[in-house]
């Protein structure tokens, strides 16, 4: 059974609260969630950009090292072929291609420093 309504309206107004505390409506909560998602996405995008930029440097260094390794492998293959042809020529079994290879002088290994490095500025030469 519900309480009866007072017959006097001024008494009814005195019983009800004058101000009802506002609650966040659904639109405000959705906007807040969208703002959070947009900010989080921006942070992850910036972190990804930084990681990608930092990872480029070792990639280029690795490409240069791979090219140097290929040059050294080709030089080693030529050296081994000339040695094999010399062994075949000594055994009397050389082919015309080996005779041509024997006459080729082997160049120095790639990426080899012939000159000594300059002295270190902080070490004494005593």
* Residue 67 placed within a domain: yes
Structural domains counted in the chain: 1
* Residue 98 placed within a domain: yes
- For range 79-92, the mean pLDDT: 90
* Residue 4 placed within a domain: no
Sign of CA dihedral 45, 50, 53, 58: negative
Domain that holds residue 56: 31-102
Residue 15: which H helix or E strand, with range?
Answer: helix 9-15
Q: Any idea which residue has 């930084």 for tokens? A: 50
* Residue 18 placed within a domain: no
* Residue 92 placed within a domain: yes
* Residue 96 placed within a domain: yes
pTM to 2 decimal places: 0.51
* Residue 19 placed within a domain: no
Measured in whole angstroms, the distance separating CA 58 from the mean position of its chain's CA atoms is 7
Which pLDDT band holds residue 119 (cuts at 50, 70, 90)?
confident
* Residue 8 placed within a domain: no
How far apart CA 101 and CA 33 sit, in angstroms, is 75
- Considering only 7-21, 27-41, 43-57, which range has the smallest mean pLDDT? 7-21
- For range 45-65, the mean pLDDT: 92
């Amino acid at each position: 059974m519900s309480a009866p309504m007072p017959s006097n309206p001024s008494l009814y107004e005195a019983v009800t609260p004058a101000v009802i505390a506002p609650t966040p409506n659904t639109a405000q909560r959705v906007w807040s969630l969208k703002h959070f998602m947009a900010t989080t996405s921006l942070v992850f995008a910036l972190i990804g950009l930084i990681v990608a930029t930092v990872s480029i440097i070792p990639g280029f260094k690795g490409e240069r090292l791979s090219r140097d390794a290929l040059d050294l492998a080709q030089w080693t293959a030529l050296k081994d072929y000339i040695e094999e042809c010399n062994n075949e020529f000594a055994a009397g079994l050389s082919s015309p291609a080996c005779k041509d290879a024997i006459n080729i002088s082997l160049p120095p290994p790639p990426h080899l420093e012939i000159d000594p490095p300059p002295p270190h500025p902080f070490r004494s030469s005593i």
